Amino acid sequence: NAGVTQTPKFRVLKTGQSMTLLCAQDMNHEYMYWYRQDPGMGLRLIHYSVGEGTTAKGEVPDGYNVSRLKKQNFLLGLESAAPSQTSVYFCASSYPGSYNEQFFGPGTRLTVL
Amino acid sequence: ILNVEQSPQSLHVQEGDSTNFTCSFPSSNFYALHWYRWETAKSPEALFVMTLNGDEKKKGRISATLNTKEGYSYLYIKGSQPEDSATYLCAQNRDDKIIFGKGTRLHILP
């Protein structure tokens, strides 16, 4: 099993460009999450999903959109990238029976110039 | 306390010494508390999930305690080794979400 994978691993964007980050999990987990990690800020929740076709906002949702069309995939979109979105993005998945223990992907390092 | 707070933010410990750090969290509507270990350039990995007041969990030289009534948890590392250098994250369940603290960055000095 691959666990949680993220594509791409690295990306550099110019201000105003758009992109989509893909998270995939093969553990049949119901819940999926997108976090961003910034120095001194820990992990902050952007958006999450408790099932296929459902999404909800986290702590810092502005400037991002998400979709969960398939149970195993959770997409994070940046419609018009800004330098403030330079960060490392982590995806995680969990299932409710495990107290939502988070299984993390390897991260995507995004730089917006 | 509304947020999950961790202290200290950073800690330097001599190899072989024991150490501990704190996580504070809102005690109302408590469900579960998590500890994660996060090595540089890797992803966070779960250490413990704790649910009951008075819980104590242990994995090798690392242990954790939980006080849900007063809203705190301690993580202990006995006889620190270089491989213990990492950021230790505490996180609390809130409905369907997990709210993380900012972590304690542990440096082990040779």
d(Cα B44, Cα B89) in Å, to the nearest integer? 8
Q: Does the structure show a pLDDT above 60 at B1?
A: no
Considering only CB atoms, A48 lies closest to which of B91, B96, B101, namely B96
State mean pLDDT over A8-21. 97
Q: To the nearest whole percent, how much of chain A has pLDDT over 70?
A: 100
State mean pLDDT over B27-49. 94
Write the secondary structure of chain A as one string of H (helix), E (strand) and C (coil): CCCEEEECCEEEECCCCCEEEEEEECCCCCEEEEEEEECCCEEEEEEEEEECCEEEECCCCCCCEEECCCCCEEEEEECCCCHHHCEEEEEEEECHHHCCCCEECCCEEEEEC
Nearest-5° Cα angle at A69, A63 to A73: 80
Report pLDDT for A39. Answer: 87
Q: What is the pLDDT of residues B41-79, one digit of tens each?
A: 899 999 999 999 999 999 999 999 999 999 999 999 999
Contact B61, B78 (CB under 8 A): yes
Map residue B105 onto helix, strand or coil: strand
Q: Does B57 touch chain A (CB under 8 A)?
A: no
Mean pLDDT (chain B, rounded)? 94
CA of B79, closest CA in chain A: separation in Å? 26
When pLDDT is cut at 50, 70 and 90, the band that residue B95 belongs to is confident
Name the more confident of A60 and B96: A60
Q: Does A106 touch chain B (CB under 8 A)?
A: yes
Report pLDDT for A42. Answer: 86
Report pLDDT for B2. Answer: 66
Closest CA to A64 of A42, A91, A40: A91
The region of weakest confidence among A77-81, A88-92, B93-97 is B93-97
Q: Does B103 touch chain A (CB under 8 A)?
A: yes
Considering only CB atoms, B103 lies closest to which of A35, A42, A94, namely A42
Using a CB-CB cut-off of 8 Å, the residues of chain A touching B32 are 99-100
State mean pLDDT over A58-86. 96
Q: Does the structure show a pLDDT above 60 at A92?
A: yes
Report pLDDT for A41. Answer: 85
Q: Does A104 touch chain B (CB under 8 A)?
A: yes
